[in-house]
Amino acid sequence: MTGAPADMENPLHRLTDEQIDEIGKEFQAIHDEVYEDLGERDAVYIRSIIQFHRRLAALSRVVLMASRYKPAWVLGTAGLSTAKIIENMEIGHNVMHGQWDWMNDPYIHSSTWDWDTASPASAWKHSHNYVHHTFTNVVGKDHDVGYEIMRVDPSQKWYPHYLLQPFYNVLLMAFFEWGVAVHDLDFEAIRTGKKPKSQVKDELKEIGRKARRQIVKDYIAFPALSGPKGWKATLAANFTANIVRNVWSNAIIFCGHFPDQAYTFTEEEGADDRPGAWYVRQLIGAANIDGGPFFHFMSGNLSFQVEHHLYPDLPSSRYQEIAPRVKDICERYGLPYNTGPFRRQWGSVQRTLVRLAFPGGKPRKKAPPYEAPAPAVEGNGGAPDGNGRATTERVLASFP
Amino acid sequence: MLAAARALTTPLLPDDYIELMNPMWTTRELRGEIVDIRPETEDTSTIVIRPSAKWLGHWPGQYLRIGVEIDGRRHWRAYSLTSDPNHPDGLISVTVKHVPEGKLSPYFTRKAEIGTMVFLGGVEGEFRLPYPRPEKLLFISAGSGITPVWAMLRDLAESGALGDAKHVHCCTGPDDFIFGETLRALCEGTDGYDLSEHHSKDESDHFTTDHLEQLVPDWRERETFLSGPPAMIDAFKEHWEEEGDPDRLHLERFQPVIGGEGAKAVGEGGTVRFRVTEVEGECDGKTPILECGENAGAKLPFGCRMGICHTCVGKLEHGQVRDLRTGEVHGEGGQMIRTCVNAPEGHVEIAL
Ligand SMILES: Cc1cc2nc3c(=O)[nH]c(=O)nc-3n(C[C@H](O)[C@H](O)[C@H](O)COP(=O)(O)OP(=O)(O)OC[C@H]3O[C@@H](n4cnc5c(N)ncnc54)[C@H](O)[C@@H]3O)c2cc1C
Ligand code: FES
Ligand SMILES: [Zn+2]
């Protein structure tokens, strides 16, 4: 399936064995230090976000009972969309990664959490936490490279059905949660018999059960509460909220690995199991999105996709703090630190999806080694860094 | 009604929203409020707790898992219940000895205050009096190991079933005897209960099986309950295995070991498939699932490795497991099980 030769420009091939070892140790040291430091303030953070989500969701549902009045519809739909986004991204994805397992709270735990989306927790944990995060961007092993239906990297073999990719891409955006649910079944594993039939059966049953509950909730129970005059408006509101959440999460997730800057890897490259090599693959296989605190929050801090991939088990709220230390490693070892504004990252993903619908295609130019911005000149309040991202303090200070 | 509410709150539970109003209203996990802290000795205190729901009772000698949040992390430890199972106000208590380097015991003996909220896990433990009550009993306790023995003695005394009970308690001195005053008074006033104290400062004069031969020559005829430090338990267990009837020796270990070398297999064992990490392992009847997974190369979560903290839980997707502490076979699909104290019984699939 891979066929394509390794990209010799890939920094993996430039680093010496000693450097790879040192990089592994340095990244691990950051992990251990932050993990050791987790405590009260982190626990307070996730609990308040969970509480905020539940209040917002409950409030939006109540407002939507009056959805046949336009302002209530708009307000309720906006609230519910926001609640669903927070629940899926900053809470669900991260809790199910085990980022909060250290608290040993049985109700904020990867083993018990379920989220407000079509995909059942256990299948998702396998395909995302395990397959995608272990074999990140290894073409042929990471099924998130194009989700088995899209060609997002020129080294993927072209088939005629990819011609339709720009069209079903739009469908996937709108119905992303269902795409993910089906994708998690892992057709590759079913085809090759790696997944026992009993498990496939359980998972299908689980998807059915989950889908039924989700549909009953959003399209029957809550509309019913709005009464005979309001049910249609509430149904439309819930449908809209689900679509908004789907489009947004699809956009953020696609920006995580498919922008031009991110590297993909051959199976040989992916087989290098030295910790340092794994860290470098995570680093250069992911891409961040610049933005302010609100943007990072609404993207579940997946705008720090690089940090998330280096440390999938550290709480998302710590990624922003870790970022400067990651950049520092990048600078010292001449490694790229992929990031860019949302418009650029998303635009390059969409262009790739259109271009690679057709045969051929060449890898795009990758980001150069990271360089720290010139130190701030005294008096100007600190310049934004080389990638256009102002420091956290500056962003926070800019809030009213 | 509940089902209708669930349809609205899925994937969360109605409880998740009710809890927003008052954390003590939750019904899915038992919590408790500390209502009294009573010093017993220099380094030991009894913690009295009011559970958030009606106390369903326990057998004297059983223990309760208690969880406390310290710096964002919830820690669990087991403590033998020292309260009357039928306390008129529904209160429960545990009695905690300060372990200087410890995490939780210093919290209870030094930090905790009246009003502090704690988490209450399930009541567990096989260390309890059999029915019908044995005629002749022997209790051997040391240090904080007195707690479950105390609970049994009080129960026997209250129901007038002490019969012929001998009790040897070991501690460093008269003042170090937890519940000493009450037990001495019980000994004074009760014919059937005979208490001996053994005071020792260090290993050279610890209570040994030789002492026992002299003090209670008819120990073989007695149903015996022993609760003390690991070395003492090991020595007495060996003595019973060699010279007595090990089935009549009941043990409580505060630092237990599950599975491993000394354990005897109770079940057939089986195979385990870890669905998330795609690892498969094989277990004999005495190896916990956790160990079996680790041997097969899976990276699995764990804490205490003795069934107390629940860090190791995974969702059972298929099959049944055997609890290595009780030998009981249990488990149904979707149940959370502790991998550190359960072995598979046939083929098992787990979402870890
Ligand atoms: C079934 C059961 C019943 C128990 N009942 C009681 C009880 O009624 N009263 C009570 O005080 N404790 C009881 N314990 C012990 C209790 O659960 C804790 O282990 C104890 O309080 C120490 O916890 P910690 O967090 O302070 O120490 P940890 O932080 O867990 O351990 C710190 C250090 O102390 C050592 N250590 C652990 N436990 C002990 C101990 N008991 N004595 C000496 N050193 C130790 C550890 O090896 C470690 O090095 C019971 C334990 C079990 C398994
Ligand atoms: S209960 Fe503590 S590790 Fe299993
Ligand atoms: Zn992830």
Tell me what pLDDT residue B311 has: 84
Q: What local confidence, expressed as pLDDT, does residue A223 receive?
A: 97
What residue type is assigned to position B283 of the chain? C
User: B5 CA to chain A: closest CA distance, Å?
Assistant: 10
Q: Which of A123-132, A367-376, B116-125, B328-337 has the lowest mean pLDDT?
A: A367-376
**Percent of chain A scored above 70 by pLDDT?**
92
Over B90-105, what HEC string results? CCEEEEEECCCCCCHH
Q: Which amino acid is at B60?
A: P
| pLDDT at residue number A386 | 37
CA distance B34 to B50: 6
pLDDT in tens, A240-295: 999 999 999 999 999 999 888 899 999 999 999 899 999 999 999 999 999 999 99
What is the three-class DSSP state of B128? coil
pLDDT at B203: 81
Mean per-residue pLDDT for A112-121?
91
State the pLDDT at residue A5. 60
Residue A391 pLDDT class (50, 70, 90 cuts): very low
User: What is the CATH code for B22-124?
Assistant: 2.40.30.10
Confidence grade of residue A384 (pLDDT, cut at 50, 70, 90): very low
With cut-offs at 50, 70 and 90, classify the pLDDT of residue A19.
very high
- Distances from the Cα of A23 to the Cα of A327, A342, B224, angstroms: 12, 29, 59
Residue from A93, A130, A83 nearest A115 by CA: A93
Q: Does B101 touch chain A (CB under 8 A)?
A: no
Residues with CB under 6 Å of ligand 2 are B 302-305, 307-312, 338, 340
Structurally, what CATH architecture does the domain formed by B136-253 represent? 3-Layer(aba) Sandwich (3.40)
Q: What is the pTM of this model?
A: 0.85
> What is the pLDDT at residue B268?
87
A125 touches chain B (CB under 8 A): yes
pLDDT of residue A4: 58
Residue ranges in chain B whose pLDDT is less than 70 = 23-24, 258-265
Which of A147-156, A345-354, B96-105, B227-236 comes out lowest in average pLDDT? A147-156
* In contact, B120 and B90? CB cutoff 8 Å: no
CA of B6 to the centre of ligand 3 (A): 28
pLDDT at A213 over 50: yes
Give me the CATH topology for the region B270-351.
Ubiquitin-like (UB roll) (3.10.20)
**Does the pLDDT of residue A376 top 70, yes or no?**
no
Could you give the percent of chain A with pLDDT greater than 90?
70
Does residue B74 belong to the interface with chain A, where contact is any CB pair within 8 Å? yes
Identify the burial level of B106 via C-beta atoms within 10 angstroms of its C-beta, where 0-12 means exposed, 13-18 middle and 19 or more buried.
Answer: middle
Contact B57, B287 (CB under 8 A): no
Q: Which residue has the higher pLDDT, B26 or A117?
A: A117
pLDDT of residue A392: 38
Relative to beta strand B117-124, strand B63-70 is antiparallel
pLDDT of amino acid A316? 96
Site from B8, B18, B104 to mutate, A interface, most A CB atoms within 10 angstroms:
B8
pLDDT at A82 over 50: yes
B111-137 confidence digits (pLDDT tens) = 999 999 999 988 989 999 998 889 999
> What's the pLDDT tens digit per position in B251-293?
999 987 766 555 666 788 999 999 888 899 998 888 999 999 9
Q: Is some CB atom of chain A closer than 8 A to the CB atom of B235? A: no
Instruction: Report the distance separating Cα A285 and Cα B253, nearest Å.
Output: 51
The answer to whether the CB of B139 falls within 8 A of the CB of B148 is no
**What would the DSSP string read from start to end of A339-395?**
--BHHHHHHHHHHHHHHTTSS---PPPPPPPP-PPPPPPTTTT----TTSPPPHHHH
> What's the ipTM?
0.79
- pLDDT given at position A382: 38
Pairing of strands B270-274, B342-351: parallel
Whether A390 has a pLDDT exceeding 60, the answer reads no
Q: Is the CB of B254 under 6 A from ligand 1?
A: yes
Spatial CA neighbour of B303 closest among B121, B144, B141, B126: B121
**Cβ-contact B227, B256 below 8 angstroms:** no
B-chain residues within 8 Å CB-CB of A210? Answer: 11
Q: Min CA distance, A123 vs chain B (Å)?
A: 8
Which residue puts its alpha carbon closest to atom 34 of ligand 1? B102
Domain ranges of chain B: 22-124, 136-253, 270-351
Position A97 confidence tier, pLDDT thresholds 50, 70, 90 = very high
Comparing CA positions, the residue from A295, A308, A313, A312 lying closest to residue A338 is: A308
Q: Which pLDDT belongs to residue B260?
A: 59
Ligand at shortest distance from the CA of B179: 1
For CA atoms B328, B332, B338, B342, the dihedral sign is positive
Asked if A198 lies within 8 A of B349 by C-beta distance, the reply is: yes
Out of B17, B311, B351, name the one closest to residue A104 (CB).
B311
Judged by CB atoms closer than 8 Å, whether chains meet at A130 and B278 is answered as yes
B347 and A CB contact within 8 Å = no
Q: Using CB atoms, which residue from A102, A194, A216 is nearest to B73?
A: A102
Q: What is the mean pLDDT of chain A?
A: 89
Q: Are B345 and B286 in contact (CB under 8 A)?
A: no
